[in-house]
Amino acid sequence: MPAVAGCTEVKRFNSTRIRGKIRKTGQGKVSLTRERIESLAPDQASLSAALKLLKPAAWPVLAESADAGMLWGECQGSGATPYRVVVALQDVAYKCTCPSRKFPCKHVLAVLWLHADKPERFETASPPSWVDAWSVRRRPAGGPPGRPRPHDGAPTAALSLAAAIAAGSAAAQSVDPKAAARAEAQRQRLKADREGAVLAGLDELERWILDQLSQGLAGFAKRSESAVRTLSTRLVDAKAGGLAARLDRLTDEVFRVGEGERADLVIERLAAMTLIASAYRHQDRLPPPLREDVRRAAGWSVRREDLLADVTAPRVTATWIVAANLSEVQPDKLRRLETWLVNAASGQAMPVQDGPGHTPRAAVLVDFVPVSGSHGVAFPFEPGECLEGEVVFYPSAAPLRGLLTTTKPAAAAPWPRSPRGLGPALDEFARRLGALPWLDVWPLMMDGVAIRTAGQPALVVTDDTGYTMPLARGQAQALMPMVGLDDLSLLCLWDGRAAQVIAADTAVGRWHRG
């Protein structure tokens, strides 16, 4: 990639810290030199990775402040949500929401590289709120707080943008059709092997469930950890990681409910696994969306590129309200990050059912990061933020999880209206459960409800008819301020036993979890 013509060194900068490190482009903007960018990179692999991010499709948002002191962008990574990058050029401070433990990450390097070589791609704009928030709170030294800089700023001879470009070109030219065919055949063999392994894993699962039924589920909680451990490992070996994860979660779930509810919970969870196993065996008889559901439930994943290329995948372009950010550490030591979106245009006038011609009211974007490096990982969007974008939903009998492909900030939107009371929301859950029998949770939106105590410390959602829906334990303290408020609009995750409120629109303002 050639340097932009017309760039000249600016001799009038006499700061020793930045002498020779910045330059002025022909357009009068300021950017770092290539040498400076190379000196920032932690290793050559980062520069090579940054090279792959220079294509326009990777950056739906690239902008700089009017004084060119701040650069920011949104990069479509492999995750469900774009990574947000911001750089302050004056002292080369930066921040990226990706979970990489390299500093600076490939996204930051890519932004700097793009700005050095293609400054015209950066739109001049007022910094959005997330850029301002970082700028106000950042420390003047570059890099994330508390982390040592990978270099002291001195150029490292081994790191070179030119070398990264050369390596990229060589890789692009080395495609061998025969090798590609062999690789594809190998992929098909591996896939067939995995199908066999999964089916064998399902056999083992069903034998195990029958054994639990034989012993009796009343005592399952006591023996759960030992009962689950071996089978979970075998399911992972059988490449049925989705089912292994369900089993692992069960050992935690049984102790989150009261003793009187445990047996029923175990019945429901084992029933769901039974349904998955049966459906998987007969997946060729299932409608395509449900077939996709059961394969994902077993543990098959869909690559981002494949989903985006799937013409049958539902796509919704709308104004989305970021309702909540949820984070949970899974038994497999991955942190699951969920960003819940609500379609601001959905409302009472719209049909509540999904399907051809109907528009989903909510979406969840899911990412996974290793636990060990995840404590500083930031969600890309703040609850309450509005954005315009396209969500591509994974094909499903009950579409909910998706990928965000394009985004731009949107003006604040009113909370969408929903049918009043619990009845319509619970009816919707029943429809979803009927369509997807092993459904874990479903987002319910309801207006005209209230939160009340039902024997301290239990809380319930109730409506004008007096019908109640229990709320999850652990939310009592956070939701208690809503007791006494009427006519709430709630967004809850309902699993059929307890609701988890993740957003509320009330007379005193909005509440968002996370």
Shortest Å distance, C-beta 286 to another protein: 13
Among 401, 398, 323, residue whose Cα is nearest residue 365: 401
Shortest Å distance, C-beta 481 to another protein: 4
Please, which contacts does 185-191 make with residues 24 or more away whose CB atoms are closer than 8 Å?
A: none
Decide: is 466 part of the binding site for another protein (CB under 8 A): yes
Decide: is 477 part of the binding site for another protein (CB under 8 A): yes
Decide: is 433 part of the binding site for another protein (CB under 8 A): yes
Shortest Å distance, C-beta 453 to another protein: 5
Among 446, 453, 451, 474, residue whose Cα is nearest residue 461: 451
Judging by DSSP bridges, how do beta strands 315-329 and 386-393 pair with one another? Answer: antiparallel
Of 43, 225, 252, 264, the residue at the interface with another protein (CB under 8 A) is: 264
Shortest Å distance, C-beta 101 to another protein: 22
Q: In the structure encoding, which two tokens stand for residue 371, read together? A: 């636990």
Q: Which is nearer to another protein, 200 or 307 (CB)?
A: 200
Find the part of the chain contacting another protein (CB under 8 A) among 26-34, 184-192, 373-381, 482-490: 482-490
Of 158, 171, 329, 478, the residue at the interface with another protein (CB under 8 A) is: 478
Q: Residues 129, 400, 371, CA angle at the centre, nearest 5°?
A: 65
* Residues 257, 37: Cα–Cα separation, whole Å: 53
Q: Which is nearer to another protein, 171 or 213 (CB)?
A: 213
- φ and ψ of 386, to 5 deg: -115, 140
Judging by DSSP bridges, how do beta strands 123-124 and 61-64 pair with one another? Answer: parallel
Decide: is 456 part of the binding site for another protein (CB under 8 A): yes
* Residues 218, 7: Cα–Cα separation, whole Å: 76
Restricted to residues 206-235, the positions that interact with another protein (CB under 8 A) are 206, 209-210, 213-218
Decide: is 497 part of the binding site for another protein (CB under 8 A): yes
* HEC readout, 161-197: HHHHHHHHHHHHHCCCHHHHHHHHHHHHHHHHHHHHH
Find the part of the chain contacting another protein (CB under 8 A) among 40-48, 59-67, 265-273, 341-349: 265-273
Find the part of the chain contacting another protein (CB under 8 A) among 356-364, 371-379, 398-406, 492-500: 492-500
Decide: is 470 part of the binding site for another protein (CB under 8 A): yes
Q: Which residues of 406-428 are buried (b: 16+ CB within 10 A; e: fewer)?
A: bbeebeebebbebbbbbebbbeb
- DSSP E strands in 90-134: the ranges are 93-96, 123-124
Of 204, 462, 473, 514, the residue at the interface with another protein (CB under 8 A) is: 462
Decide: is 412 part of the binding site for another protein (CB under 8 A): no
Amino acid making up residue 425: A
* Residues 388, 385: Cα–Cα separation, whole Å: 10
Q: Which is nearer to another protein, 149 or 281 (CB)?
A: 281
Q: Count interface residues toward another protein (CB under 8 A).
A: 57
Decide: is 267 part of the binding site for another protein (CB under 8 A): yes
Q: Which is nearer to another protein, 366 or 458 (CB)?
A: 458
Find the part of the chain contacting another protein (CB under 8 A) among 246-254, 361-369, 412-420, 455-463: 455-463
**Count of CB atoms situated within 10 Å of the CB of 488:** 20
* Residues 478, 504: Cα–Cα separation, whole Å: 12
Q: Residues 339, 343, 346, CA angle at the centre, nearest 5°?
A: 150
Question: Can you state the angle between helices 220-237 and 259-281, rounded to 10 degrees?
Answer: 30
Decide: is 501 part of the binding site for another protein (CB under 8 A): no
Identify the sign of the CA torsion 423, 426, 432, 435: negative
* Residues 205, 388: Cα–Cα separation, whole Å: 44
Find the part of the chain contacting another protein (CB under 8 A) among 16-24, 148-156, 275-283, 385-393: 275-283
- Widest pairwise Cα distance in the chain: 84
Q: Which is nearer to another protein, 351 or 470 (CB)?
A: 470
Q: Which is nearer to another protein, 2 or 455 (CB)?
A: 455
Decide: is 183 part of the binding site for another protein (CB under 8 A): no
Decide: is 174 part of the binding site for another protein (CB under 8 A): no
Decide: is 282 part of the binding site for another protein (CB under 8 A): yes
Alpha-carbon distance values, 161 to 31, 102, 113, 331 (Å):
16, 17, 9, 40
Decide: is 496 part of the binding site for another protein (CB under 8 A): yes
Per-residue x/- mask for another protein, residues 126 to 155, rule CB under 8 A?
-----------xxxx----x----------
Q: Which is nearer to another protein, 370 or 470 (CB)?
A: 470
Q: Which is nearer to another protein, 53 or 221 (CB)?
A: 221
Residue 339's Cβ-count burial label (10 Å; 0-12, 13-18, 19+) is buried
Q: Which is nearer to another protein, 56 or 196 (CB)?
A: 196
The site for another protein (CB under 8 A) is made up of 137-140, 145, 206, 209-210, 213-218, 263-264, 267-272, 274-275, 278, 281-282, 426, 430, 433, 437, 452-456, 458, 460, 462, 466-468, 470, 477-478, 480-485, 496-498, 508-509, 511
